[in-house]
């Protein structure tokens, strides 16, 4: 069958299946299990209404258990076992973790992740806030906003390919097609650099890609928050004698602090999971390894499911507290 037809069929089956599930399960509940007539009509309707929420929740609960809860438990189990020949496995306690922390590559990944954690959310949020504030004041602001938001629509791998071209290096005697090298030479650089192999700096070149993507996200959310600020508080500040900078930093930003935290933590979670960009651009070479790529290396290249799962658990441990804080703040914002 043609793949497009297959896709169409799966959409029809999927959506139709959902509709059919909700329709027939409710019909069954109301007509067969607890019919709303006869001597116990009132009691039956009450009971049916107590069960109904669970009918609607069931597909989500099932999907989450299969695709979220089970993998977590299984990863935890794998991180404590060692694979033996013949599809056997053996409980080894924390041996995988011990092996992992003795590897310099793991600590390099940890260090880089912390570096990403400090730089990317800070820059994305700050630039997003700046873009949100500035684009609100000009007539072509909406065009600027769509342009800044556009990278959000590009996959991480696609973005990585684009930026690989920006950082591209050609031999000295050829024209440079990488924008960065072209600029570097134009402003008096002696010879083209292979940017992605410059240790420490190359980390920042990778981070720029993610900042480029996440700034649009931060801008959209913060722009909405800025518009939610009561105009009268801004006018009151102007009457009180605040200049535009003071209005922004002392009146506007404090009022959207909750949203800033939500944006910051959301980007932090993205950063902790960053994989595609590093995988596609340097694959962790030249001291650019990050935890997610380290995990992929161990799991699928070295076929070491023990250490791979152990690093996955580490990522989860790092993400969880931030996630909890993020959800807590997001809920507070909604109130």
Partner 1 sequence: MTNLKLTGVEKTYAGNINVLNDINLDIKTGELIVFVGPSGCGKSTLLRMIAGLETITGGELTIDGERMNDMPPAQRGIAMVFQSYALYPHMTVRDNMSFALKLAKKNPAEIDAAIEKVAKTLQLTDYLDRLPKALSGGQRQRVAIGRSIVRDPKVYLFDEPLSNLDAALRVATRIEIAQLKESMPDSTMIYVTHDQVEAMTLATRIVVLANKGVAQVGSPLELYERPENEFVAQFIGSPAMNLLSGTVVDTGDFTTVRVENGGGVIRSSVPSSAELKGTSVNIGIRPEDMQPTTDDNFAFENRVEIAEALGEVTQVYFKPQSPGSTPVIAKLQGIHRDVRTQTMRMSADPSKVHLFADGRSLLYR
Q: Which residues bind partner 1 (CB under 8 A)?
A: 230, 232-233, 235-242, 246, 250-251, 254-255, 257
Closest CA to 319 of 259, 269, 251: 269
CB under 8 Å to 256, separation ≥6 — which residues? 222, 225, 226, 228, 229
Alpha carbon distances (Å) from 322 to 158, 255, 293, 309, 313: 28, 22, 20, 21, 15
Least separation, in Å, of the C-beta of 124 and partner 1? Answer: 23
CA geometry: angle 123, 126, 132, nearest 5 deg: 130
72: left (phi over 0), alpha (psi -120 to 50) or beta: alpha
Q: Are 273 and 315 in contact (CB under 8 A)?
A: yes
- When the beta carbons of 173 and 231 are compared against partner 1, the nearer one is 231
Six-digit token pair at 256? 């959207």
- When the beta carbons of 239 and 334 are compared against partner 1, the nearer one is 239
Least separation, in Å, of the C-beta of 253 and partner 1? Answer: 9
- When the beta carbons of 6 and 233 are compared against partner 1, the nearer one is 233
- When the beta carbons of 238 and 319 are compared against partner 1, the nearer one is 238
- When the beta carbons of 246 and 283 are compared against partner 1, the nearer one is 246
What kind and span of H or E run contains 89? strand 88-91
- When the beta carbons of 19 and 236 are compared against partner 1, the nearer one is 236
Least separation, in Å, of the C-beta of 226 and partner 1? Answer: 14
Question: Phi then psi for 229, rounded to 5 degrees?
Answer: -70, 130
**Length reported for the chain:** 335
- When the beta carbons of 229 and 316 are compared against partner 1, the nearer one is 229
Least separation, in Å, of the C-beta of 258 and partner 1? Answer: 10
Closest CA to 211 of 141, 323, 127: 127
Least separation, in Å, of the C-beta of 138 and partner 1? Answer: 16
Least separation, in Å, of the C-beta of 263 and partner 1? Answer: 18
Six-digit token pair at 197? 């192999």
Least separation, in Å, of the C-beta of 218 and partner 1? Answer: 20
Residue 275, helix vs strand vs coil = coil
């Amino acid at each position: 069958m043609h793949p497009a037809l297959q896709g169409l069929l799966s959409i029809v089956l999927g959506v139709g299946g959902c509709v059919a599930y909700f329709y027939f399960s409710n019909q069954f509940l109301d007509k067969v299990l607890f019919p709303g007539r006869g001597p116990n009509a009132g009691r039956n309707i009450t009971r049916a209404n107590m069960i109904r929420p669970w009918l609607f929740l069931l597909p989500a609960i099932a999907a989450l258990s299969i695709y979220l809860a089970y993998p977590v438990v299984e990863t935890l189990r794998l991180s404590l076992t060692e694979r033996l020949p013949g599809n056997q496995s053996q409980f080894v306690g924390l041996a995988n973790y011990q092996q992992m922390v003795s590897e310099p590559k793991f600590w390099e990944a940890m260090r880089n992740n912390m570096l990403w954690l400090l730089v990317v959310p800070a820059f994305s949020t700050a630039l997003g806030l700046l873009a949100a504030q500035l684009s609100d004041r000009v007539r072509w602001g909406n065009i600027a906003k769509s342009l800044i938001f556009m990278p959000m629509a590009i996959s991480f791998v696609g973005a990585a390919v684009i930026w690989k071209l920006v950082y591209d290096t050609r031999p000295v005697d050829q024209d440079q097609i990488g924008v960065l090298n072209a600029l570097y030479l134009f402003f008096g650089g002696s010879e083209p650099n292979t940017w992605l192999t410059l240790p420490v700096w190359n980390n920042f070149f990778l981070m720029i890609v993610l900042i480029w993507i996440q700034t649009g996200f931060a801008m959209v959310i913060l722009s909405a928050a800025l518009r939610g600020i009561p105009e009268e508080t801004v006018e009151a500040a102007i009457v009180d004698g605040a200049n535009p900078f003071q209005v922004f930093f002392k009146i506007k930003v404090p009022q959207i602090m909750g949203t800033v935290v939500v944006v910051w933590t959301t980007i932090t979670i993205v950063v902790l999971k960053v994989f595609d960009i590093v995988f596609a651009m340097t694959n962790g070479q030249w001291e650019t390894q990050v935890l997610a790529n380290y995990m992929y290396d161990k799991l699928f290249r070295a076929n070491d499911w023990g250490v791979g799962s152990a690093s996955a658990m580490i990522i989860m441990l790092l993400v969880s507290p931030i996630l909890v804080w993020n959800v807590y703040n997001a809920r507070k914002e909604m109130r």
